[in-house]
Amino acid sequence: MTPQDWAASYRSLFGLPRVHVTAPGFVVLPLTDSIAAVNTPEPLGVSILGELIDRGIPGPVLVRTRPPRRTFLVVADRHPTPDHLTRLERRGIDIGPHRGNVVLPTGFGRYTPEGRWWARPPRRDESLPLLSELVSAAIAVLYGLR
């Protein structure tokens, strides 16, 4: 499959809006007013995904091996409070920059040309979790509030 085929698949089969191919040939999801990305270090990302699964709102999660991180795709409903943001940042969790891009893999295996893979791929029939839900789950994991 070509990068253009992957971009079309992400849009039509997986419901990720505005996915396109950049000039160097990367398939990217732009971060907009409505879609955000939350990056976490490993193994913290594994625990946060587990908490989201327990809550019934897992959503798609990318894994990057270098540096070892997980990227959660979410709906940007509201920005975290300054207190929560500070707590997250202290543990290496950041919210991707508005108007940035997330590079998506062009394959479903663990080894892709982009060096990232889906720990949990997007699903057409499933909504992205809200940013506020992910922040709540991350705070619960960080501070043992389960």
DSSP letters for 100-124: -EEEEPSSSSS--TTSEEEEE---T
Tens of pLDDT along the chain (146 residues) come to: 899 999 999 999 888 889 999 988 999 999 988 899 999 999 899 999 999 999 999 999 999 988 899 999 999 998 899 999 999 999 999 998 777 899 999 988 888 989 999 999 998 888 899 999 999 999 999 988 65
Alpha carbons 30 and 72: distance in angstroms, whole number: 14
Sole residue written with tokens 């997986």:
14
Nearest one of 117, 146, 124 to 42, comparing CA atoms: 117
Task: Please give the model's pTM, rounded to 2 decimal places.
Answer: 0.93
Alpha carbons 37 and 71: distance in angstroms, whole number: 6
